[in-house]
Amino acid sequence: MITLYDYELSGNCYKIRLLLSILGIKYHSHTVEFYPAAEHKAPWFRQINPLGQLPVLQDDDYTLCDSQAIMVYLASRYDSGNSWYPRDDPQRLGSVSRWLAFADSITNSASSARLVEGFFYDFDAVACRAEAHRLFRILDEHLWFNAKSGHHWIVTGDSPTIADIACFPYIMLSEEGSISRQDYPAIRRWSDHVKRIPGFTVMPGIFPAGPAQ
Amino acid sequence: MTEQTLKTLDRARAARQWHPVATSDDLRMRHVYHGQILGRELAVWRADDGHVNVWENRCLHRGVRLSIGINDGHELACQYHGWRYANRTAGCTYIPAHPADAPARTICNNTYPATERYGLVWTGEAPEGTAPDAPELQHAGNHLLVLRSLPVNAPLHLTAGHLADYTFYRSDHTRPATQVSTHLRRAGEFQVAVDWTDENGTSALVFFLQPTDNHRTSVHAVLATSKPPDNPLQRLKDHNFAMSLLRDRIEQAARQHPTPAAFTVASPRVSEALATLPKLAATGRKAPLRVVVKSIRDVATEIKAFELISVDTQLPTFQPGAHIDVHLANAQVRQYSLTNAPGQTDRYIIAVKREADGNGGSAFLHQSVRVGDTLAISLPRNNFPLRRDAVNTLLIAGGIGITPLLAMAQTLKSADHPFHLHYFVQDQSHAAFPQLLSTFGTHISMHTGLSPEQTRTTLANTLEGYKPASHVYLCGPAAMLSAARDLAYRMNWPDEAIHFEFFKNTTDVTTDQAFTVELARSGLTLTVESGQTLLHTLRTNGVELPSSCEQGACGTCRVGVLDGEPLHQDVYLSDAEHQRNDCLMTCVSRARSEKLVLDI
């Protein structure tokens, strides 16, 4: 049985809920009140994850923290098609790692700006927003040229990878940190594709897409 | 440079010009593009028929951005409360909070003109003339390549100044990148053109500047080459790299100056009245629209389809179930349902059955109306609105009664809502629009050549087993409609789940008895003489009322009854509604009691 230590408004927890839903895996959600109770800093939770961060996944007696690491584990263990974490293709696998790191940078900028505005964190919001815009420009350019070559996803290939899921939530929630996505049309089109993946699910602040043609 | 940076945009003048807002490629199918011109945010989307819509980026209801909405190919739906707006007209077609009502025609978003040229989408607040020419791109035989557009956080004139000395690096697989300097051909306020010559001949690059806001600019660029580019993707990358470097320099330069204040843009006022359904406007039977018959085709034995297009303006929004009055040259007025699919907003399509025993309306349309003729028609009116929240929808049509149900079936199919269409016809050759019918696949059952008794049995089977949140829509000959309606009641379909539209009133309407009406709100007491209708009496006394069929079939002239017992004589209301005696049709209803008190 899989248990996810979960918080509904967390983009990092949403990454895991999204992948679990797409892979069709049943799980139990254990809510940890991030705000205002700060339960993720409570002693009982720090026994599970000393970093005091969400999400944490327990699969029987195996415990893992860090959203990108959890996605690597879930895709490697439960994706029978081997497409979400393409272990058989060294170049695509390398690219997945590169964009997982990029997703962490998005979390450190776009998500931080959202924490300032929505959860009263004390970060430099101006610097966070500037950094998020710099990253979004890079991703928009990457996706624009990928699309020109007929590829819809972040990592070149016919199907999406966990890199798409890793980048998706905090890009889509960026406006909650006053980061407009108006200047990133290729990102906006890519997000339509992500929303049309079978099994896609939403969270507060993220809307579904309409039907594809 | 200094002079140019001090120059500011003349917004009033720029509002009268066309500006690029996106590349044509940006408007992918089923996508909504988030655009902006002169500080005004725009929702830009392409419908499945290719039409480009440029709308104010706010839902009329609660002001939510429509650029996060859903483009289903025919309509744009707001993510907040699901208000749906039609392709082209931006008229509201459906309000989920009022599923049984037809939204008023006045609920219509702001639209802006749109055109496509040089691979770009152009728009403006009130643009004059046509989208601007770029002579470098007009040479016959030139190959055009639309580059990746770049948004720049800098004012337009500062950006334009930097583009004048554009250089780039030409990459090749075989040798190191070579720097190419260009020379300036022209530098206008919104266009900068440069050119160069290399071993591939002469190339020209035209930059089109989009005044996104007072302090933000988008640079669109179109490359024209005399030979087709050998490696288009590499050329796109070369210029993207050069333009990105240039953007860094422009933004750095912009930081040396105070940022100009963003434009303040007047948004259309969202009235509280729009949050609820406005009252019907009080008007008589009018025909304000002029349409031209674009095509006439036979779509079944004795049935012709007429495609009507507007002479000058956009045709108003319609909803599934809507009809129009067609005013004929022989002074007759006839009602025809629109058969259109959702989003098919560039024309109205009606189907007319030639009635052997009719009094001339259908014969006139069949014999005398030709392609190219102008017809006077009313605004579309909807007394047969389609709910889009049903768990299941049954559509039951007899003969030419198929027409409003075709519009409904196409709407439900496009939204992937469950429905089934039962179509009763004399024989297969009488089934209208066979091609369209075939697209409904397993959602349609044809019932051909049934006797009245067989029809009854089939209807009974069809209506059996009512489930909550199902709705049935009926349209066809009076006998079949009454039978179906009675069966539905008997099988426990609730009143509000049975929707029907008669296309004529076959009951004998009497005008023998004179009676008195008191108009509670107008303070008038009038006598309706024998031989006169209540509607006529009201109008001659200055009380304006909308009307359409004027034979008790369409429901347009309905008014509330506060006291007295009406003699209904209409076929629009159900038996239960007749028994409530709380409304009547002014065109045919009279009084059983001496006096009626009406809520007008």
The lowest-confidence range among A164-178, B393-407, B571-585 is: B571-585
Q: What is the rounded average pLDDT of the residues B263-281? A: 54
Please enumerate, as own/partner, the contacts of A128-135 that have beta carbons within 8 Å and a separation of 24 or more.
Answer: A128/A177, A129/A177, A129/A178, A129/A179, A131/A105, A132/A106, A132/A174, A132/A177, A132/A179, A133/A179, A133/A183, A135/A102, A135/A105, A135/A106, A135/A109, A135/A110
* A183: closest chain B residue by CA: B151
DSSP assignment of A42-78 equals: SHHHHHH-TT--S-EEEETTEEEESHHHHHHHHHHHH
Beta-carbon contacts of A50 under 8 Å, excluding residues fewer than 6 positions away, are none
Q: Mark yes or no for CB contact A149/B233 under 8 Å.
A: yes
A138 touches chain B (CB under 8 A): no
| CA distance linking residue B545 with residue B143, whole number of Å | 61
Closest by alpha carbon to B132, among B50, B65, B69, B210?
B210
B49 touches chain A (CB under 8 A): no
* A196: closest chain B residue by CA: B30
* B49: closest chain A residue by CA: A213
B39 touches chain A (CB under 8 A): no
| Residues in B touching A149 (Cβ below 8 Å) | 233
Burial of A151 (0-12, 13-18, 19+ CB in 10 A): middle
Alpha helices in B415-565 (DSSP H): 434-438, 452-463, 478-490, 534-540
Distance of CA A206 to the CA centre of its chain: 12
| CA distance linking residue B505 with residue B490, whole number of Å | 23
How far A197 CA sits from the closest chain B CA (Å)? 15
| CA distance linking residue B463 with residue B480, whole number of Å | 13
Strand B470-476 vs strand B566-567: parallel, antiparallel, or unpaired?
unpaired
Q: B91, B108 in Cβ contact below 8 A?
A: yes
pLDDT at B411 over 80: yes
Residue B363: strand, helix, or coil = helix
B85 touches chain A (CB under 8 A): no
| Residues in B touching A145 (Cβ below 8 Å) | 148, 233, 236-237, 240
Specify the pTM.
Answer: 0.81
| pLDDT band per the 50, 70, 90 thresholds, residue A27 | very high
pLDDT at B282 over 60: no
| CA distance linking residue B124 with residue B19, whole number of Å | 6
Residue type for position B382 = N
* CB nearest A183 (choices: B70, B151, B416): B151
Instruction: Summarize pLDDT for B22-56 with one digit per residue, the tens.
Output: 999 999 999 999 999 999 999 999 999 999 999 99
Closest by alpha carbon to B545, among B599, B586, B598?
B586
Closest by alpha carbon to B375, among B317, B288, B298?
B288
The lowest-confidence range among B9-18, B524-533, B535-544 is: B535-544
Percent over 90 (pLDDT), chain A: 98
pLDDT at B454 over 80: yes
Q: Mark yes or no for CB contact B233/A192 under 8 Å.
A: no
Burial of B175 (0-12, 13-18, 19+ CB in 10 A): exposed
| Residues in A touching B244 (Cβ below 8 Å) | 141
Task: Give the best residue of B70, B215, B411 to mutate against chain A (max A CB count within 10 A).
Answer: B70
Instruction: Summarize pLDDT for B210-232 with one digit per residue, the tens.
Output: 999 999 999 999 999 988 888 89
* CB nearest B48 (choices: A148, A189, A213): A213
Q: B559, B583 in Cβ contact below 8 A?
A: yes
Instruction: Summarize pLDDT for A150-163 with one digit per residue, the tens.
Output: 999 999 999 999 99
Strand B178-181 vs strand A28-31: parallel, antiparallel, or unpaired?
unpaired
Closest by alpha carbon to B93, among B70, B77, B112?
B77
| pLDDT band per the 50, 70, 90 thresholds, residue B199 | confident
| pLDDT band per the 50, 70, 90 thresholds, residue B2 | very low
| Residues in B touching A146 (Cβ below 8 Å) | none
**Interface contacts A/B by beta carbons within 8 Å:** 49
For residue B333, what pLDDT is reported? 81
| CA distance linking residue B152 with residue B254, whole number of Å | 10
DSSP assignment of A134-192 equals: HHHHHHHHHHHHHHHTT--SSSSSSS--HHHHHHHHHHHTGGGGT---TT-HHHHHHHH
Strand B444-448 vs strand B419-425: parallel, antiparallel, or unpaired?
parallel
CATH of domain A2-78: 3.40.30.10
* B146: closest chain A residue by CA: A148
Closest by alpha carbon to B369, among B336, B415, B406?
B336
Two tokens, residue B169 = 């690096």
| Residues in A touching B72 (Cβ below 8 Å) | 210-211
For residue B284, what pLDDT is reported? 53
| CA distance linking residue B46 with residue B31, whole number of Å | 7
Interface of B with A in 146-165 (CB under 8 A): 148, 151
| Residues in B touching A181 (Cβ below 8 Å) | 34
The lowest-confidence range among A20-34, A107-121, B325-339 is: B325-339
Residue type for position B481 = L
pLDDT at B487 over 50: yes
| Residues in B touching A192 (Cβ below 8 Å) | 28, 30-31
Q: Mark yes or no for CB contact A189/B48 under 8 Å.
A: no
* Stretch(es) of chain A classified as CATH 3.40.30.10: 2-78
Half-sphere exposure of B567 (CA within 13 A, CB side): 20
Two tokens, residue A30 = 């254990």
A145 touches chain B (CB under 8 A): yes
Q: Mark yes or no for CB contact A210/B29 under 8 Å.
A: no
| Residues in A touching B210 (Cβ below 8 Å) | none
Task: Give the best residue of B24, B25, B213 to mutate against chain A (max A CB count within 10 A).
Answer: B25
DSSP assignment of B275-292 equals: GSPPPPP---S---EEEE
| Residues in B touching A185 (Cβ below 8 Å) | 22, 26, 33-34
* CB nearest A185 (choices: B26, B48, B244): B26
Instruction: Summarize pLDDT for B86-110 with one digit per residue, the tens.
Output: 999 999 999 988 888 888 777 889 9
- The three-point CA angle B464-B466-B468 to 5° equals 170
Interface of B with A in 225-254 (CB under 8 A): 233, 236-237, 240, 244
Q: What is the rounded average pLDDT of the residues B514-539? A: 89
| CA distance linking residue B543 with residue B282, whole number of Å | 9
* CB nearest B36 (choices: A182, A188, A189): A182
* B65: closest chain A residue by CA: A182
* Stretch(es) of chain A classified as CATH 1.20.1050.10: 90-195
Q: What is the rounded average pLDDT of the residues B470-497? A: 92
The one-character DSSP state at B438 is: H
Number of CB atoms found within 10 A of residue A47's CB: 8
- The three-point CA angle B162-B167-B168 to 5° equals 130
Instruction: Summarize pLDDT for B144-191 with one digit per residue, the tens.
Output: 999 999 999 999 999 999 999 899 998 877 777 889 999 999 999 999
Instruction: Summarize pLDDT for A186-212 with one digit per residue, the tens.
Output: 999 999 999 999 999 999 999 999 888
Task: List the beta bridge partners of residue B375.
Answer: B291
Q: B154, B144 in Cβ contact below 8 A?
A: no
To the nearest 10 degrees (0 to 180), the angle between helices A112-119 and A125-148 is 130
State chain B's mean pLDDT as an integer.
90
Task: Give the best residue of A171, A202, A213 to mutate against chain B (max B CB count within 10 A).
Answer: A213
B77 touches chain A (CB under 8 A): yes
Q: What is the rounded average pLDDT of the residues B574-588? A: 90
For residue B5, what pLDDT is reported? 45
Task: List the beta bridge partners of residue B196.
Answer: B203
B539 touches chain A (CB under 8 A): no
| Residues in B touching A150 (Cβ below 8 Å) | none
For residue B23, what pLDDT is reported? 98
Task: Give the best residue of A172, A183, A192 to mutate against chain B (max B CB count within 10 A).
Answer: A183
Burial of B42 (0-12, 13-18, 19+ CB in 10 A): buried
Q: B505, B518 in Cβ contact below 8 A?
A: no
A211 touches chain B (CB under 8 A): yes
Percent over 70 (pLDDT), chain B: 95
A204 touches chain B (CB under 8 A): no
A182 touches chain B (CB under 8 A): yes
Residue found under tokens 């720090």: A46
For residue B117, what pLDDT is reported? 97
Closest by alpha carbon to B464, among B533, B394, B374, B390?
B394
| CA distance linking residue A49 with residue B161, whole number of Å | 56
| CA distance linking residue B323 with residue B329, whole number of Å | 19
* CB nearest B30 (choices: A144, A208, A213): A213
Q: What is the rounded average pLDDT of the residues B434-442? A: 96
For residue B102, what pLDDT is reported? 82
* A192: closest chain B residue by CA: B31
B65 touches chain A (CB under 8 A): no
pLDDT at B358 over 70: no
- Predicted ipTM of the assembly: 0.95
Question: What is the longest distance spanned by two Cα atoms in chain B?
Answer: 101
Residue type for position B189 = E
| CA distance linking residue B269 with residue B569, whole number of Å | 44
* CB nearest B236 (choices: A148, A185, A213): A148
For residue B506, what pLDDT is reported? 79
Length of chain A: 213
| Residues in A touching B233 (Cβ below 8 Å) | 145, 148-149
CATH of domain A90-195: 1.20.1050.10
Q: Mark yes or no for CB contact A144/B148 under 8 Å.
A: yes
Q: Mark yes or no for CB contact B72/A181 under 8 Å.
A: no
The lowest-confidence range among A67-76, B275-284, B336-345 is: B275-284
